[in-house]
Amino acid sequence: MKKTAVIVAGGAGMRMGAELPKQFLLLKNKPLLYYTIDTFLKAYEDLDIILVLPEAYTDMGQEIIDAYFDKDRVRITIGGATRFESVKYGLQLVEGEAIIFVHDAVRCLVSPELIRRCYEQAVETGSAIPVIAASDSVRLLTEDGSDALDREKVMLVQTPQVFHSKLLIPAFSIEQKGKFTDEASVVEAFGMKVSLVEGEKNNIKITHPVDLMIATQLLDPA
């Protein structure tokens, strides 16, 4: 089955508080985005990438592609004001039937094993959403305080979120109500079920400055 990864790198990185959007920050002398693209291209030789970038940073993105990758395998498009819009614009470039991986550019430690595990399950069931168990206790905020939740019943959600195009493309015709924080919730709001797959603890999302320090260590523990 054709494989297309929509790698969303259209955000501003406000929580990181750096001058550049965090996807362009350096990790071991290479932009964070480099690692994400490299892992996807190596996971499958027949996979192509749609890279979604902020309008002001398409040249910077193109320079990374030109410097490191086969430019025939990576197409660039411009993102929107929200992650949902950025994914939607990326999906507009998907051609024909495919298994589509939607991945946060800033989860740059994703492994080829996770990409392949998600692909295999999506071929079988139509979708694959990687999740990991919570290791902290979890509470739900209520009007008058908070309630403890059974953490065995809570999972933390990662990307790549992987779907058959027949499921994902129609789901993204839905009107954005409130905030969709991931693709699984868009597909569910459209009335479809999703299936979960084991994620990876190292597949962290670089969100705050401390995450960059953790990623540096994980990349090269020496």
Ligand X SMILES: C[C@](O)(CO)[C@H](O)COP(=O)(O)O
Ligand Y SMILES: Nc1ccn([C@@H]2O[C@H](COP(=O)(O)OP(=O)(O)OP(=O)(O)O)[C@@H](O)[C@H]2O)c(=O)n1
Q: Which residues form the interface with ligand X (CB under 6 A)? A: 83, 104, 157-159, 181-182, 205
Minimum CB–partner distance for residue 83 and ligand X (Å): 5
Decide whether 62 or 207 has the Cβ nearer to ligand X.
207
Q: Considering CB distances under 5 to 8 angstroms, the limit depending on partner class, which of ligand Y, ligand X, none binds residue 52?
A: ligand Y
CA–centroid distance for 82 within its chain: 14
Q: Considering CB distances under 5 to 8 angstroms, the limit depending on partner class, which of ligand Y, ligand X, none binds residue 130?
A: none
Q: Considering CB distances under 5 to 8 angstroms, the limit depending on partner class, which of ligand X, ligand Y, none binds residue 90?
A: none
E strands, the chain, are: 3-8, 26-27, 30-31, 47-53, 74-78, 99-104, 127-133, 138-142, 145-149, 155-157, 161-164, 196-198
Decide whether 16 or 74 has the Cβ nearer to ligand X.
16
Cis peptide before 160 (omega within 30 of 0): yes
Q: Considering CB distances under 5 to 8 angstroms, the limit depending on partner class, which of ligand Y, ligand X, none binds residue 9?
A: ligand Y
Alpha carbon distance 87, 193 (integer Å): 19
Give me the residues that bind ligand Y (CB under 6 A), please. 8-15, 21, 23, 52, 79-83, 86, 104-106, 205, 207
Decide whether 68 or 155 has the Cβ nearer to ligand X.
155
Q: At 7, is the secondary structure helix, strand, or coil?
A: strand
Decide whether 176 or 207 has the Cβ nearer to ligand Y.
207
Alpha carbon distance 72, 212 (integer Å): 30
Alpha carbon distance 29, 107 (integer Å): 17
CA angle 49, 204, 98 (to 5 degrees): 25
Q: Considering CB distances under 5 to 8 angstroms, the limit depending on partner class, which of ligand Y, ligand X, none binds residue 181?
A: ligand X
Minimum CB–partner distance for residue 31 and ligand Y (Å): 12
